[in-house]
Amino acid sequence: MSTLVSPEGGIISGAKADPKSVDNDAAKKKRLGMLVDQRRCIGCQSCTIACKSENNVPLGYWRSWLKGVQKGSFPHVGSFFLRRLCNHCDVPPCVQVCPVQATVKREEDGVVIMYYGKCIGCGMCIAACPYDARFFNPIRRTADKCDFCVTRLDQGLQPACVTACLTGALVFGDLDDPGGRSLKAA
C-alpha cells in the first residue's frame, strides 16, 4: 500500500498506484530538501533574519530558527547550533489532520505548503507536527510554517535562508540528484 498526495485533496491513504498509468513525468519529479551542515554553522542568524524578511514573519515568531546547544564539560565545552524548521515529511501528519486541506504536499517536488486562504486557524496541524515547526500567525490568523520560500522556488531560486548563509552550511536541491545544483543562487 502506498500513500498518494494531491495538491487539491491532501493525502489519499491506502490508494494503490496503477503501474500502467505511471508516465515519464514521474521520472522528472524532484524531491526537494535541505542539507544542514552543523559543523559549518556559526550561529550568526543570517538564515533566520532572511526567512523573517522574505516571508513577513511577525516579531516573536519564526518559520525557522537556531537553537544553541552546549556539549561537554569544563574545560572541554563546545557550542553548536541546531537549525530547526519544517522537515517536509514523506507522510506529513499536518496534511493528514487538516480538516479543510489547507496544508498539502506538492506532488511535483514534495514541498509541504499552506493555502492560507483555506486555513481556518484551527491549529490541528500545529498540534500534529512532531517537530514543533508550525505556529499560529497572529497577523494572518492562520497556521504558518517554512515552505522553502515556495515563491522563490517557483522562479528557480534558492530559499532565502540558503542565499543568506555566510558559511555555506545550508545546501538545497533535489535529494535524488545530490551532485547537481538545479536552482540558481540568487
> pLDDT tens digits, residue range 19-73?
444 445 555 688 899 999 988 999 999 999 999 999 999 999 999 998 988 899 9
According to DSSP, the residues that pair with 184 across neighbouring strands are: 157
CA 99 – CA 103 distance, rounded (Å): 9
For residue 12, what pLDDT band results from cuts at 50, 70 and 90? very low
Q: Quick one: pLDDT at residue 78?
A: 87
Q: Quick one: pLDDT at residue 133?
A: 95
CA 8 – CA 115 distance, rounded (Å): 10
**Distinct helix (H) and strand (E) counts, the chain:** 6, 10
Taking a C-beta distance cutoff of 8 angstroms, is the pair 25, 109 a contact? no
Q: Environment class of residue 76 by beta-carbon count within 10 Å: exposed (0-12), middle (13-18) or buried (19+)?
A: exposed
Give, in order, the Cα–Cα distances in Å from 142 to each of 31, 120, 136.
26, 6, 6
Q: Quick one: pLDDT at residue 180?
A: 62
Q: Quick one: pLDDT at residue 120?
A: 97
CA 112 – CA 104 distance, rounded (Å): 6
pLDDT 10s digits, 126-173: 999 999 999 999 999 999 999 999 999 999 999 999 999 999 999 999
For residue 178, what pLDDT band results from cuts at 50, 70 and 90? low
pLDDT at position 16 over 60 = no
Taking a C-beta distance cutoff of 8 angstroms, is the pair 125, 116 a contact? no
Q: Quick one: pLDDT at residue 21?
A: 46
pLDDT at position 87 over 80 = yes
All three cell numbers of 90, joined, read 514523506
CA 133 – CA 126 distance, rounded (Å): 8
Q: Quick one: pLDDT at residue 169?
A: 94
pLDDT at position 14 over 90 = no
What is the percentage of the chain residues whose pLDDT exceeds 70?
80
